[in-house]
Every structure is written in structure tokens, then in C-alpha cells.
Amino acid sequence: MQPSLFTAEPPPLPPWEIDDRKNRKIAKVVFPAGYDAALDYLVPNHLAGSLEPGMRVLVPLGKGNRPQAGYCIDIQPWGLAETNVKLKPVHALLDEQRLIGDKMLDLTRWIAAYYLCPVGQVLEAVLPAGVRSRAGTRLTTVLFAGIQPQTKAPLTAKQQHVLETLRQAPEPLTAQELQRAAKCSAVPIDALKRFGFIETKTIRRNNNQWQTDSRQHSALPPDADRYPLTAAQQQALSAIVSSIQKRQHETFLLHGVTGSGKTEVYIQAIHEVVRQQKQAIVLVPEISLTPQTVGRFQNRFPHVAVLHSHLTDAERHRQWSHIAAGQVQVVVGARSAVFAPLPRLGLIVIDEEHENSFKQDSSPRYHARDVACKRAELEQIPLVLGSATPSLETWTNSITLPQTEIPAGDKTQTSSAGNRSMTVMLSMPHRVKNLPMPQVEIVDLREEVRNRTTRGAIHRQLHQAIHETLIGKGQIILLLNRRGFSTQIQCPACGEAVKCPHCDISLTHHKTEEIALCHYCDYQIPAPAACPQCRFSGIRYTGFGTQKLELEIKARFPQAAVLRMDTDTMQGPGAHERALSQFRNGNVQILLGTQMIAKGLDFPNVTLVGVINADTALHLPDFRASERTFHLITQVAGRTGRGEKGGRVIIQTFSPDHPAILAAAKHDYERFVRQELPVRKLLGYPPFSQMIRIVVRGENETKTFTFAKMFAERLAVDRFPLRILGPAPAPFAKLRNFYRFHIHLHSPEGSRLREHVRSVSLPLKTPPDVQWIIDVDPVDMQ
């Protein structure tokens, strides 16, 4: 039944249903928007046997009783509800079976409570849009064998053959499909219908459901013994497999340098999971969902589902259906794959767990790492967090093997953030085959500028290294985490910088299209030849982006094949695959790009990595700026030296003495930790406190600041260890015509902090032209 069939006024309950209310049930229903709490609805008798928690329902909402889709999250006896309240009845079920199981419902409740958002919003994130809309399906009339034929007359041979074909079909068939399968006309089918041997039913089917799915049969992956492990890999694997066999929840931090073989440990651990007829989830950053990463799992397991942002709604619905039906052994995907509905989940793996892309940037603002930890706890299964550069939150929450030396009580302590149990660290400090870590050289750009010895982005030392690598038939990766051609357009006469009128952010020059573009709202203008303010014709284009770097490389090394990878060039379907295939096959000698080339790539012939400017994120107003810089340099440096030729890394920087850059140059994570943690502790930043960021925005700057100030004053009332910073203009003070102010809250008592923010924010009366969001454990300070 569709929403359009309902009038504004719900149909009255029949008298027998009214009299029977005390024996009836109440459905607790939540909505994607508009209501934070669950509303009670009466379950009619004709739906009582069908409705379950985790199903979507159509209910009347508001004074006008408009039909609205919602989620049933609980069913209670009438006696537990307010008996003096007149309840509206549930109109209809929108699902034939429950889409969300009990444990997933528990997980959504935890997410809503921890991240201070409505359960309905969480359920919308858990259930993909393609599943909700049933994309790629249609209502179809199918045939099935009747139970009580209306005649005892003998059937003809053809009729008997048609009936037997229908009975042996793995699923219901349409009349046309039965004709093809039985090689008959419509005549015997119509006769069987009249006699009652065949009945019809309308169901919803995938558009390509009759196609054979090769993944439906069961098969084990190849024997893991064919892939020998190092001693460190074997020790790590043994600890994980022991937890899998015990069927208990433990969290492991697999801390291995780049090239130490972490992926092989994941694969062999999953091999054990599959051997037990269970399934696994592998989360990777979206930018690491390369054919190389996915291919390693697809080559080792017959039934792998890949979930990423480029799937159509129909493709996502089809994958979701395969997963829910238990036809998939391994799900590999980005952040939202943590919600994959695997019925026999046995292991969750998060590769590159430090990546910021695991944090959702819209409500619900969950972090996939912490959600995975909670899901693993609910499922009583192991969780493996892998990284060469773990987040400081994960690192400080970990303890080192051997486990026999760990007091049992210590493994259940919680971190200062208050939501994760202690993590067992598994260390892999060396590369496979004992390959050495690449030699790292730091180029002080200040000397180059003072001596005026070079022009452009590539300085003498890096130029010479590229030249030598090309002569030696090696390949090169160059990282510049700035896209476009020139990153700033400024008039030297009046000093005016060309900015976005909607965002108050400098426009970036894109030479290919000859436009000046805002990377935040997509506002663009033709690249100005003169200053828009004073009309001076000598306007300057300064700064380097990947477009300018590409032109410089081609001019310096005209014989080399150069490929640029950034969001401007990698937009079409299969663009990543084609680009990396060219590089893998040796058709490209120099690969340059933004951070998408820094992770997930394993090319043994890469013998040189150049970091064009290591300072791009180092001086941002973000307490994690040093950590992010260390992560990025270490990860991109790890792309080289993976073959017998060895590797070399050259880092160009204006801050050669910065602790993060020096630690990255030494491949020394623990050195970075020793230097960074005392600073965090002194300032009271995570991981030594929980942090909540509130961003208030509005089109009127004065009204927006006034509300933000009132919000902060109300938050400051409570008496417990709490530090409040702000309100202050956000680093990006204006975005898309909205003025932005933010408030930071820090407390070592995470649970109390969240409850305090919830109690203050719920009754808050917000002006109609002001909006605000709450971000628990934020990673984006912009």
C-alpha cells in the first residue's frame, strides 16, 4: 500500500479492536527527522503477527495525520503505555521482513546516545537509500504450485512437465520465465491455473534476479599455507586466531611499519573466520579502495562484496541483499560498510585506522572505528585495527603482548574518551623479506629561497634524484596535497586577494579551464587578467597546485610519461583503475597527485618518493596538524623501497626542524608519540580528555554570534571538570553564505560531558535563521 492512497484522516478502528485494546501491543516508532523521541502507535490486529522491531511502518503524523514512514524500534504490551492516551494506529508495513536485527538496533541506540543525535537519523545511515527505495526492483506476478487442485483429472504429459519444472525452480517464476524453462506455450500454463495446480502472487523482485549469481554456492578460500609469514606476522596472526576460536571480543592494534605485511595477516585471519562458516568486514579509507587493495581480497576469497560511494542505488541494494542473505564471505568497504548486515559476522578489520575519512561529516557524526568497536562487543567477536601510524587515541589505549603478563582487570579499562575497552598491541617492526626502510632526505626550502638557486616547485636535490631514477628505469611518486594550478590570486598594487563571495576563502586558479574556483561551494569566475578591485593589470598568481606541478614536471623531463591523480582528473567511472593500471604496467614513469596516491599502493618498481611541500597542513589551526603531517609523510614514504632496488624519499619543507617531520624522516612513530603526547596532556586535548565541538551558523553574523554566546553561557553553568573555549569565529568563518562560530568543550569525564551537552541542547530555543550541530570526538576543526 502506497502513502498516496491514504487520506489525511486515519480510518477509525472497528469496535471489536477498540474493545480489545488491553490485549493489544504498542509500536515505538522513530522518524528520520523532526522528532528526537519515539512515538507510540497502536498495532492493529491484522498487523500484530507481522510487525517486528527493525521494520519500517507507515503511520499518521502530526495534527494533519499526514502519512509518514518511520522505523519501529520496539513493541510493548498495551499495559506499559499511557492507557488514557488515544493512540493512532499503524497504517501499514513498508517491509515484508525486518531489515534491521536486534543487535543492529542496539548499535543504533548506542550511536544515538554517544553522538547525541536522534535514533531515526542513525537508522537512515544504517539502511542505504537504495535499500529503502528498493532500487533495482519491481512488482512482479509470479507462479507457484497450488496446494489444493480443483480437479482430480489426469494431467497431460506437457502439463505434468510444466508443473514439475515449476516445482523444481529455485525461486518463483513469471509466466514468461516458465515458458522458457519448460519450452512450452502459454496454453498448458493457463490450463494448470484453471485446474488450481498453479496459483499466482505479486512479489517484489530484483530486475536481474533470474540471472545466476555465481557467488551463491559455498567455497573456501585458497590454502593460507601457500603464503608463508614472518615471525612477527605469525605471532600477530596467532593472537587474532586464538580470539576467533574462543569466540570472544578483543580489540587488537596491528602496528606494523609500511610494507610489513599487515594485509596478509588480515587475509589469513579471515581465512580462519571463513573456515568456521563465518564472515568478515574489512574497512578501508575510500581513497584506499583501489583495485590493488580490493583485488588482494577477491583473489583469495570467492565471495567478496565491495561497498563504496560510486555504487548506484540499485547496485548498493543488490549488494546489500546478497550480504543479508549470507551469500558473501567478506565485505570490503569504506566507512558505512561497518553496518553491513552480515548474519554470521566473525571478525571486523579496519585498515589505516588513523584515517580521518572514517569520521562521518554529517549527522550522525559517528566514527567508524568506535562504532566497529561497539559492534564487535555486541557480537562478541574480535576487532583488528591496523596502521603504521596509529591515532594517538588508539595508541594510548593499547597494551603490549604477551597477554599472559596482562592482569585480567586491565583489559576492561576504558580510555579517557570513555567508550573503548583496552586494546592489545601486536607489533610488526620490520618489512617482509627484511627489506630496509627507504632513506629519507630533508630539503630546507628556506636555503633555496635565500640563495635564489631555483625556481618552481622542484628543487635541485629532487630534480637530480628524479633524473637518476629515470635513468635507472625506476618509477617516481610525487605528493602535493593541493589541487589546481595556483593556490592564490592577489593584486600587488592594492593587496586585494580574489576570494569567494560566499565563503570568504581564496579562489584557486585552474588553468585547464581558465577559471578561479572555490573548493568549498564550487563558485567560479573566469580567471581574472586584472585586479577586480582596482583594475591593475599585473595581478599575480602564486602558490603551487598539482596542475602547475604537472606542467613543470613535463617541461623538466619531456621524455617521461607523467600522470596526475587528484579529484579533478579522477572523476569518471573506473578512472582510478585505469590510472593505476597504467602505472603498474610501466606505461607511466612519474605519478603525481594529492593524498589519494599516499596510501594503499604497492609498486615494487617505485624507487623515489618526493614530498613537494610537507608544510601544507602543518600550520593549520588544528591541534592534530602535527599528527596529520606525520601520518601523511610516513604513509607516502612507505610507497617506495618495496622491491629489491630499494627506495629513497626526499621531503621539501620550510620547517626542517619540526618534530613531526624529523620523526617521519626517521620512520620513528614512537619518537613522534613521545614528543606529541606531553603537549596534548599539558593542553588538555584528546586523548587525555573527551572533546565536543559545537558549530553555530547563520546568514546574519550578529544574530549568529549572539545565539552562540548564549549557548556557551548555558553550557558553563554546570559544576564538573569542564573547559569551554569560545564562541569564536571558526577557521573558515564564512561558508556558503553562512557565518560560523564554534565552541569547544573538553572534559576528562566523557559520559558526564555528553549528558551535560544533551541536557542543555534539548530544550534550547533556536532562532529560525540559525542552525547548529554537535560533533562528538571531532576530527575536522575547520
Give the whole-angstrom CA distance, residue 136 versus residue 140.
13
**DSSP state, residue 200:** E
Residue 6: the pLDDT is 38
For residues 398 and 374, is the Cβ–Cβ distance under 8 A?
no
Contacts of 459 (CB under 8 A, 6+ apart): 443, 445, 448, 453, 652
**147 or 782, greater pLDDT:** 782
Give the whole-angstrom CA distance, residue 623 versus residue 24.
55
Confidence of residue 648 (pLDDT cuts 50, 70, 90): very high
| Strand ranges of the sheet holding 279-283, from the earlier edge strand across to the other edge | 304-307, 330-333, 279-283, 345-351, 383-387, 251-256, 423-428, 398-400
Task: Pull the grid cell for residue 229.
Answer: 609469514
Residue 175: the pLDDT is 87
**DSSP state, residue 607:** E
SS3 375: helix
For residues 234 and 227, is the Cβ–Cβ distance under 8 A?
no
Question: For all residues of the chain together, what is the average pLDDT?
Answer: 86
Largest CA-CA distance found in the chain, in angstroms, rounded: 104
Encode pLDDT of 689-712 as tens digits: 999 999 999 999 999 999 999 999
Give the whole-angstrom CA distance, residue 617 versus residue 654.
12
For residues 92 and 57, is the Cβ–Cβ distance under 8 A?
yes
Calculate the dihedral angle through the C-alpha atoms of 224, 230, 232, 234, rounding to the nearest 10 degrees: 30
Which helix H or strand E contains 541, and what residues bound it? strand 540-542
Residue 769 pLDDT > 80: yes
For residues 614 and 653, is the Cβ–Cβ distance under 8 A?
yes
Confidence of residue 629 (pLDDT cuts 50, 70, 90): very high
Encode pLDDT of 181-216 as tens digits: 888 888 888 888 888 888 888 777 766 543 334 333
Residue 595 pLDDT > 70: yes
For residues 91 and 2, is the Cβ–Cβ distance under 8 A?
no
Residue 218: the pLDDT is 43
Contacts of 498 (CB under 8 A, 6+ apart): 489, 490, 506, 507, 516, 528, 532, 539
Q: Which of 119-133, 191-205, 335-349, 717-731 has the highest mean pLDDT?
A: 335-349
Encode pLDDT of 240-288 as tens digits: 999 999 988 999 999 999 989 999 999 999 999 999 999 999 999 876 6
Residue 428: the pLDDT is 94
Task: Pull the grid cell for residue 420.
Answer: 573503548
Residue 449: the pLDDT is 73
**526 or 452, greater pLDDT:** 526
- In this predicted structure, which of 71-75, 283-287, 423-427, 727-731 has the lowest mean pLDDT? 283-287
Confidence of residue 597 (pLDDT cuts 50, 70, 90): confident
For residues 365 and 775, is the Cβ–Cβ distance under 8 A?
yes
Give the whole-angstrom CA distance, residue 79 versus residue 40.
13
Residue 5 pLDDT > 80: no
Residue 183: the pLDDT is 87
Dump the DSSP string for 221-282: PPPGGGS---HHHHHHHHHHHHHHHHT---EEEEEE-TTS-HHHHHHHHHHHHHHTT-EEEE
Give the whole-angstrom CA distance, residue 162 versus residue 184.
8
Residue 311: the pLDDT is 81
For residues 289 and 306, is the Cβ–Cβ distance under 8 A?
yes
Residue 157 pLDDT > 80: yes
Query: Letter for the amino acid at 410?
Result: D
Task: Pull the grid cell for residue 638.
Answer: 612507505
- In this predicted structure, which of 53-57, 209-213, 573-577, 755-759 has the lowest mean pLDDT? 209-213
HSE value, Cβ hemisphere, 13 Å, CA-based, for 567: 8
Give the whole-angstrom CA distance, residue 51 versus residue 29.
12
Residue 559: the pLDDT is 94
What is the share, in percent, of the chain residues with pLDDT greater than 70?
89
Encode pLDDT of 658-680 as tens digits: 999 999 999 999 999 999 999 99
Confidence of residue 453 (pLDDT cuts 50, 70, 90): low
Encode pLDDT of 47-96 as tens digits: 988 899 999 999 999 888 889 999 999 998 876 555 567 889 999 999 88
Which helix H or strand E contains 703, and what residues bound it? helix 701-715
Encode pLDDT of 397-410 as tens digits: 887 644 333 333 33
Confidence of residue 222 (pLDDT cuts 50, 70, 90): low
pTM of the full predicted structure? 0.86
The whole-angstrom distance between residue 622's C-alpha and the CA centroid of its chain comes to: 22
Closest to 355 measured CA to CA, from 598, 127, 117, 580: 598
**20 or 381, greater pLDDT:** 381
The whole-angstrom distance between residue 610's C-alpha and the CA centroid of its chain comes to: 29
Confidence of residue 4 (pLDDT cuts 50, 70, 90): very low
For residues 57 and 72, is the Cβ–Cβ distance under 8 A?
yes
Specify which residues 29 forms β-bridges with. 39, 72
Residue 64: the pLDDT is 84
